[in-house]
Chains A and B, each alone.
Chain A
Amino acid sequence: MRAVKYLLLVLAIVAAAVGPLVTSNSFVRDLWVLVAMWGAVATAWNLIGGYAGGLSLGHAAFFGIGAYTSSLFYLDLHLSPWLGALAGGVVAMLSALVIGFITIRLRGPFFALATLAFAAILGIAATNLTALTHGAEGMTIPFAPGLGHAIFASKLDYYYVALALLLAYVALTWWISVSRFGYYLVAIRENEDAAQALGIDAVRVKLAATLLSAFMTALVGSFYAQYRLFFEPSIFATDISVQIALFAIIGGMGTVWGPLLGAAILVPVTGELQSWLGSSLPGIDAFVYGAILVLAILFVPNGFVSLLRPLFAAKHPPAATQQAAEAEAKT
């Protein structure tokens, strides 16, 4: 079974490395970039959402902070976006520190609402601080290809940058999932009081996960800005936060590969639905998409990864026993 697992892993990496080379279709290559990009963001969300159990609906905040910070440094101070992205990550961590202190004690839906409000405030600020952000006009980055500018003529170059981020994030998640830090997070998610009683500083551990997740999300936000070369304050919209969370949830939250799997399923589905149905009747693509989401959440609540789990040896406890334990803990 272990052999199967490693074989699949190698196959997946090879497929990811050569996949976009097979086609020269720009639409399909764009999908590859978007899968890698959203897969990376969803993997970052998963640290706080999946492992620590904090249902963030405000990750667009960190994504947008990354995009705005690197772009502002690039356009106004001519700082290379590679460094600007790091600056964006730091700004995102600072904002995560503030919002983390406010929200970290809140229960599921309340945490979701508070993070949602946070992103909404940033969206309003980005719209109205026109001197800094150009307001609703949005930020336009002139097309000037070059490695130092982090602007590329070919989608393939963007793809490999996104893939590198994605692989780094998945590897980091795997490392966390087998580390003491990861076990702390899961312990807090399953029963915060019990975790506290065992001596885990829950607030500190969750805050650490939030900071890390914010930093990772902001890096991808900078990537997005460099890839699209245009964005508006709507980058902070709730839709984007929801989208990020949904990738991880549909794929399987609290698992190493789930968020990527979710993005790999949903990004092409959305893209195909849009190009296939979108023009026939406005809204029908979103309708089908929403219906798929509701059905997936009701019938596959542990994500599509849980359907693949029987393929591998029972290294993790099967979902059924986990649910039974949760049900017991609730009563």
Chain B
Amino acid sequence: MTFQLFVQLLAAGVLLGGVYALISIGLTLIFGVMRIVNFAHGEFLMVGMYLSYYLVTAAHMNPYLALIVVAPGLYLFGLLVEMTVIKPTVGQSDVVQVFATVGLSIVLQAAALMAFSANVMGLNLPITNALLHLGWLTIGVPQVLAFVAAMLVAAALFAFLGRTDVGRAIRATAQDRSAAALMGIDVPAIYRLTFALGTAMTGLAGALLMPIYSVSPDVGTQFVLVAFVVVVLGGMGSVSGALVGGLLIGIVETFSGFVIDPQWKAAIYFIIFLIVLVVRPAGLFGIRGSEETAS
């Protein structure tokens, strides 16, 4: 492998990793605070992608300007889902939590199939095909934008969680929901907010993916497993873990796709996933004990 090729692959891997980090942040936020593993996460991404697709094709918006509609749109969508499906499952058994969201993902996929048909749809605009040439290094502009956006979103989330009163209330709820309630925090309201926020971030990710990938009703299934791998690798509930985990998986996937048959690259990250679960189930930055048998 030449140095040039190595750098080219590394750049591609880091950019892909940024996308993976972006789609994982909402999942890990929701888990960290509510202890709910959202199996409908991929479908939230799909909803964000469709919304962005139609804003661009039907309303002729710039795909990056569409973000300012997609994020609040998905925030409202998240509120609605929280109040109808998620709220009744809080504090219930794992079975109820897992399968309520599994059922939700079936419903959302079917709704998309009904509304938009099974056709695979992509954007074809000057910006979606734009390339950036840095000497001999060539990278796609949408990839760079998605990566930059992932970093900005993560930074904004850090600032929000660290510096604002609501952010502190969210972190307090994540640490100990009973103590938080005793300190006067409205825990159900924090749950609602966190879920809607996580959904909005996932929708944002969908809108940023739209210039890169095509959308179809089952697009979520292509990304949801990667998101789970990233989140488990980084540590369930850890935003910085999702960033690092996303980058690692992106780089590993790009290199393994080059070194071995690309068909097997998905198997590589599932194997990493299983190894992490055995060796360090709390992930790189995770909350220890959250994954092991009930204490």
Contact = CB atoms under 8 A, between A and B. Distances in A.
B106 A113 contact: no
A139 to B, nearest CB: 19
Contacts of A242: 102
A283 B88 contact: no
Interface string A92-122: 0000000000110111111011101110110
Interface residues of A, number: 48
Interface stretch (A69-77, A176-184, A294-302): A294-302
Interface in B75-129: 85, 88-89, 91-100, 102-107, 109-114, 117-118
Interface stretch (B3-11, B154-162, B188-196, B272-280): B272-280
Interface in A266-311: 281-287, 289-291, 293-294, 297-298, 301
A47 to B, nearest CB: 15
Contacts, number: 144
A286 B110 contact: yes
A18 B292 CA distance: 48
B36 to A, nearest CB: 8
Given A102-B278, A281-B114, A290 B294 contact: no
Contacts of B110: 283-287, 289-290
A55 interface: yes
Contact of B117 (A112, A114, A282, A289): A282
A230 B294 CA distance: 42
Contacts of A238: 221
A246 interface: yes
B277 A110 contact: yes
A54 to B, nearest CB: 10
Is the interface on chain B under 10, 10 to 19, 20 to 34, or 35 or more residues?
35 or more
Nearest to B94: A108
A201 interface: no
Given A282-B118, A294-B85, A121 B267 contact: yes
Interface stretch (B17-25, B145-153, B258-266): B258-266
B219 interface: no
B42 to A, nearest CB: 11
A105 B274 contact: no
A97 B211 CA distance: 44
Contacts of A35: none
A105 B271 contact: no
A110 B232 contact: yes
Contacts of B263: 124, 127-128
Nearest to B289: A107
B294 A107 contact: yes
Of A108, A121, A297, A298, most B-chain CB atoms within 10 Å: A297
B267 A124 contact: yes
A282 B116 CA distance: 10
A253 interface: yes
Given A106-B292, A286-B113, A294 B98 contact: no
Contact of A293 (B95, B106, B113, B281): B106
Contacts of A118: 270, 274
A249 interface: yes
B50 interface: no
B225 interface: yes
B291 A110 contact: yes
B217 interface: yes
B270 A297 contact: no
14 contacts: A102-B278, A105-B292, A105-B293, A108-B95, A113-B228, A113-B232, A114-B273, A120-B267, A124-B266, A191-B294, A246-B102, A249-B95, A294-B85, A298-B89
